[in-house]
Amino acid sequence: MPLSKQTWLSAVTKRMGRVCVTATLGLLAIANTGCHLVSSARHAIPAHRLDPNLFDCPRDDLAPLPYAALGQEKPMEHLIGPGDVLGVYVFGVFPPGEDDTPVQNRAQAVNQRYYPPRGTVVGPTTGLPVTVDINGEVDLPLIDRVNVQGLSLTQATDKIRKTYREADMIAAGRERVSVGLITPRVKRVVVLREDTPATPVALASPQAVDEVHRGSGEVIDLPVYESDVLHALAATGGLPGTDAERELYVIRRSPTIDYRFMNIEQLQSMVDTLGPESGVVRIPLVGCPDQPIPFTEQDIKLDEGDVLFVPRRNEYFTTGGMLPGARIPLPRDRDIDVIEAIAMATGSAGGPLGRDGGVLAGAGVSYMREPTRVLILRDLPDNRQITIRVDLDRAMKDKKERIRILPDDVVMLYFKPGSATLNSTLNYIPSAVVGLMIRDAD
């Protein structure tokens, strides 16, 4: 049955109205997506095109250095040097007129600290105490000063006996001379630690940033063959905690270097630029398995007045875009990828905008398509910045898309243009119109 002219005009008017409404809503949706889209995304580098080993050695591949390398090798015999307190006995001369052998007894208590101030008495020894002066000499009666620097106790005994014999101070056959060690010389060093010294451990959520922190410092006297990084750490709390960097700095006194107003980044830059001339030695505690140990035995020895510095760890990544703005600490001993970073930032690895299914309980359309585009802003060593684009849909299937997150990265989550348009359009179209469009399509 042919339609009347009035009926036909009415149908055409309704369809044109629907088309206009749909077009208008589409334009509104496109205009509304401005806050979710980034025009510079097309200039970003796709994550799957980057070499995973382009930036640095992955933390999962880092291995702890042999801790024995942090200590010096101890000689078989103690070699005398300035500051040693020796027990010297020369029969009939030192002490004069005594037939009995003088004995120096231990002075410390049984439960003493391992490193008491000014050194440890090693045990009972015969003779009177004599201190080796700055020139490595000892002053004994009736003879000139005797240089014993660099000699073992046996060699020092033979030299003192020979000196007295040549001076005709002791008779042949009555050469009872002994030299023992009462207190070895010590090196006084300062250990400054920015990791938490308290024994109780406080647990905090990953999103929490600990801005209130208290470090510790200690002045210790280390015996001559134990004055190294290993024993200094053992005496002040052990290895650095998880809130500290896995590296140390030995800062030596240098009259040519001004350390004032110098932060840890500037300190590290100076070490890389000047090397040993900087007076600062950087000692990493972890490294890639294929690399040699980056320091020598001389680097880990501590001398009088040296400072062993344990810096605090400041490794964070920042979130933005559709993610809640936050500054989140990175784990110290393992890597996280972009998906784990989003989970740490939102508290959920899935769901629209990181929410659970309760977001649909309001009966509204809301976000039917979740944001799947991530832009990562990354600083390069030469102070340049690159933008890396990650597709979360592809990351679910391609491991190369799950790029590692490095310190100081900025991770921003956005909608793709199609997803933003779809979500905005569906939120603007009333439910009745949506049903009408579906019915007409059928």
Residues 55 and 407: their CA atoms lie apart, in Å, by: 11
The share of the chain scoring above pLDDT 70, in percent, equals 63
| Residue 34 clears pLDDT 50, i.e. is over it | no
| Stretch among 17-31, 48-62, 334-348 having the lowest mean pLDDT | 17-31
Give the mean pLDDT of 343-353: 60
Mean of the pLDDT values across residues 252-277? 66
Any idea what DSSP says for residue 403? P
pLDDT tens digits, 133-155: 999 999 998 888 999 999 999 99
Cβ(306)–Cβ(251) below 8 Å: yes
Per-residue model confidence as pLDDT tens digits over 140-194: 988 889 999 999 999 999 999 999 988 888 777 777 889 988 888 999 999 999 8
The yes-or-no verdict on residue 11 having pLDDT over 50 is yes
**pLDDT for the residue 354:** 44
- Would you call 315 helix, strand, or coil by DSSP? coil
Structure tokens at 151: 């000699």
- Dist CA 251 CA 166 (whole Å): 48
Q: Is the Cβ–Cβ distance between 233 and 70 less than 8 Å?
A: yes
CB of 412 within 8 A of CB of 347? no
Q: Could you report the per-residue pLDDT of 203-213, keeping only the tens digit for each?
A: 555 555 555 56
Cβ neighbours around 22 below 10 Å, total: 14
Buried b (16+ CB within 10 A) or exposed e, 34-73: eebbbeebeebeebbebeeeeeeeebeebeebeeeebbbe
Tens digits of residue pLDDT in 87-136: 999 888 888 765 566 666 555 544 445 666 666 666 667 788 899 999 99
pLDDT of the residue at 430: 57
DSSP 96-146: BT--SPPEEPP-S-TT--SS-TT----S-EESEEEE--TTSEE--TTS--E
Mean pLDDT taken over the chain: 76
- pLDDT by residue (tens digit) across 67-88? 999 999 988 999 999 999 999 9
Residues 52-64: pLDDT tens digits?
Answer: 767 777 888 888 8
**Residue 308 is inside which H or E element, if any?**
strand 307-310
Cβ atoms within 10 Å, residue 358: 8
Q: Which residues contact 15 (CB under 8 A, 6 or more apart)?
A: none
Cα 86 to Cα 151: distance, rounded to the nearest angstrom:
12
Tokens of 262: 């110098």
Q: What is the pLDDT of residue 230?
A: 94
Instruction: Give yes or no for a contact between 234 and 68, defined as CB atoms under 8 angstroms apart.
Output: no
| Confidence at residue 387, expressed as pLDDT on a 0 to 100 scale | 92
> Look-up: residue for tokens 């310190």?
407
Residues of the chain with CATH 3.30.1950: 85-183
CB-based contact 416:321 (threshold 8 Å) = no
Which DSSP symbol is given to 405? P
Which pLDDT tens digit goes with each residue over 226-258? 999 999 999 888 889 888 888 999 988 766 666
For 207, phi then psi, to 5°, come to -75, -15
CATH T-level topology, domain 85-183: wza like fold (3.30.1950)
The answer to whether 268 and 358 are in contact (CB under 8 A) is: no
Question: Residue 24's pLDDT is what?
Answer: 53
Q: What is the mean pLDDT of residues 338-353?
A: 70
pLDDT band at residue 376 under the 50/70/90 scheme: very high
pLDDT beyond 60 at 214 = yes
pLDDT above 80: residue 2: no
Q: Over the Cα atoms of the chain, what is R_g?
A: 37
- Mean pLDDT for 268-294 is 78
Say if CB 69 and CB 300 are below 8 A apart: yes
Confidence of residue 351 (pLDDT cuts 50, 70, 90): very low
What is the DSSP annotation of 218-273? EEEEEEGGG-BHHHHHHHTTSS--TTB-SEEEEE---TT---TT--HHHHHHHHHH
